Amino acid sequence: MNAVVRAALAEDVGTGDATAALAPGRPARARLICREEAILCGRPWFDAVYRELDRAVGVHWQAQDGDRLLPGQTVCEITGPAPVILTGERTALNFLQTLSGTATLTRRYVDAVAGSAARIFDTRKTLPGLRVAQKYAVRCGGGCNQRMGLFDAMLIKENHIAAAGGITAAVRAARQRHPDLPLQVEVETIEQLTEVLDLGVESVLLDNFDLEQLERAVAVRVAQGRVAALEASGGIGLAEVARIAATGVDRISVGGLTKHVQAVDYSLRIIG
């Protein structure tokens, strides 16, 4: 986190904040307000920005990450030298608005499938350099994380299958090379699903299955007596996520949680 914050500050401040230098160095107080309904996320990164600039700055939070915010709600107050508060404002808000946007969208998906057994998962479709932060935001919104990267779990997709010479060959090679890593296989047809279930894979990604195919997939798993988790994936929006959850799948992965980011509207004002 600290390295990401330092890089963000270097990008914005460069050789120095020319405008903030116009403000007197007297102590100042600022208030941060959320202007729309949202889920708060990003406190550690916000704090880290001001910690990097000047440890004399105090951030006094009135809400926790994961809390639901209302329009006009005060989120925190900041005290410290006026130039430092001004210098850190944009970088700190960039983290907070982006991560709150991810957390807020995640909560909407989680709320949409409430009452079902399905859980909402993220993907690796994250903003470069912000994967740890965005996956944290997904958890703040009530969602679940997939693998962090290519190193901590295996997902065999269509191109891996083609390169390996088929699903069975790909799964066997994966088990031989990395027997301790979680393994998931992406399938595009019911026939492929049947083959994967027979291989004893613990998780199957159902790529772009429609509702009827998802229901069939759940039925096939039951008929084969398997316990593999079934995950729906592929362009899933809020309008259809509840119907997908009702098919009986265990997981629903949504790349849009982290790649279609709509920033939450925050406003910071010097008040004293």
Active site residue 259: no
Give the integer Cα–Cα distance in Å for 265 and 245: 31
Task: Enumerate the H helices of 117-237 as residue ranges.
Answer: 131-140, 158-164, 167-177, 190-198, 211-224
Query: Which of the following is catalytic: 12, 188, 207, 215?
Result: 207
Q: Which of 17, 52, 65, 186 is catalytic?
A: 186
Compute CA 68 distance to the chain's CA centroid, rounded to the nearest angstrom: 17
Terminus-to-terminus CA distance in the chain, angstroms? 31
Determine contact, residues 218/248, Cβ cutoff 8 Å.
yes
157 catalytic, yes or no? yes
Is 207 catalytic? The answer is yes
Whether 125 is a known active-site residue: answer: yes
Write down the catalytic residue from 29, 90, 108, 216: 90
186 is catalytic: yes
Helix, strand, coil % in the chain, rounded to nearest 5: 45, 20, 35
Distance (Å, rounded) from C-alpha 44 to C-alpha 46? 6
The two most distant CA atoms of the chain are separated, in Å, by 74
Can you tell me whether residue 172 is helix, strand or coil? helix
- Please tell me which residue in 108, 124, 157, 175 is annotated as part of the active site: 157
CB atoms within 10 A of CB 84: 20
Rounded to whole angstroms, the Cα distance separating 50 from 216 reads 53
Catalytic amino acids?
Answer: 90, 125, 157, 186, 207
